[in-house]
Amino acid sequence: MFGYVVINKPELKFREFDEYRGFYCGLCHSLKEQFGGSAQLTLNYDLTFLAILLTALYEPQTQTIQSRCLLHPLKKQQQYQNIYLDYCAKMTVLMSYYHCEDDWEDERKWTRRVEMQLLKEKKEAIEREYPVKCRLIQEEMAAIRQMEQHQEKDPDTMANAFGRIMGSLFEVHEDHWSKTLRETGFYLGKFIYLIDAWEDVEKDVRSGNYNLFKDRFEEVDFDEKMMEILEMMMADCTRSFETLPIFDYREILRNILYSGVWTRAALIRKKKEEKKNEKSV
């Protein structure tokens, strides 16, 4: 579910890439400071994106520090620190816990159970800090599980539920920007849900797991239709995003939303085409 909201690196300037790293490393650092070393393994790109978006919108006081880390012991890395990176670190841990819980319910992988136990106390502290948000997320995840059990086929119905989860992560304060941030998160969340389902459909069909597209993925032009739908999601996401009065880090954010998100899509498309060609040979 994570790893789609990435940069298209060759299209970023060096300075922009350093700034991106500043957020990524900053998020990693915040995870460690707030939740300990094990939490650093939950680091992901999607919430890095959110940290950059919130920083650009709210322009909080941000420190830049130079620090070493285990994976980069020789050269100090530039890291940013601010309240939104701390917020995103909390949301990272929260979402990791819920995903582990979900996987445990579905697939009973003992590794997920172990991870759940490691994250449990941290997650509970976050739930106490954000009770309304967490309740909403849990309700939507429960709704998703139920709809999966009933083999829901409508893409909007399923993707909207995940969209609402992302929307609620994007909305930090109840303020003037709530609606726009929620909308931006909502359509990005829909994109993520749909591309994830698209990527995994063959695997899920083989293993008998639920997948939104399991009855449709062998239709002619299915992959083309998917690309159109995904493009629709990003178009609606960016339509909201562009109404925000953002200037800082804008090129990084645009790189991700207009280009980076298609990196994985390109790979998925390629793999599926090759599979089709193999079959027809």
Partner 1 sequence: MRNPYEVLGVSAQASDDEVKKAYRTLSKKYHPDANINNPNKEAYTEKFKEVQNAYDQIMQMRKNGTSFQSGRSTYGSYGGSSEASDFEDIFTSFFTGQSYQQRQQYQSREEMYFSAVRNYIMQGYFEEGLNVLSQMSERNALWYYYSAICHANLGSNITAREHAQTAVSMEPNNPEYVRLLNQLQSGRAQYRQRYQTYQNPMAAYSSCCYQLIFWNLLLNCCCGPRMC
In the bound state with partner 1, the residue whose beta carbon lies nearer, of 30 and 160, is 160
Which residues, numbered 153-192, are part of the site for partner 1 (CB under 8 A)? Answer: 154-157, 160, 163, 176, 183, 186-187, 190
In the bound state with partner 1, the residue whose beta carbon lies nearer, of 61 and 128, is 61
Draw the binding track, 114-153, toward partner 1 (x: CB under 8 A; -: no contact).
----------------------------------------
User: Applying CB under 8 A, does 8 fall inside the site for partner 1?
Assistant: yes
Which residues, numbered 215-254, are part of the site for partner 1 (CB under 8 A)? Answer: 229, 231-236, 238-240, 242-243, 245-247, 254
61 token code pair: 């006081």
In the bound state with partner 1, the residue whose beta carbon lies nearer, of 43 and 134, is 43
Size of the site for partner 1 (CB under 8 A): 64
Q: Which of 41, 114, 125, 142 binds partner 1 (CB under 8 A)?
A: 41
**Least distance between partner 1 and beta carbon 87 (Å):** 18
CB neighbour class for 72 (10 Å; exposed up to 12, middle 13-18, buried from 19): exposed
Q: List contacts with partner 1 (CB under 8 A).
A: 1-3, 6-11, 21, 24-25, 28, 40-45, 69, 71-72, 77, 96, 99, 103, 154-157, 160, 163, 176, 183, 186-187, 190, 229, 231-236, 238-240, 242-243, 245-247, 254-255, 258-259, 262-267, 269-270
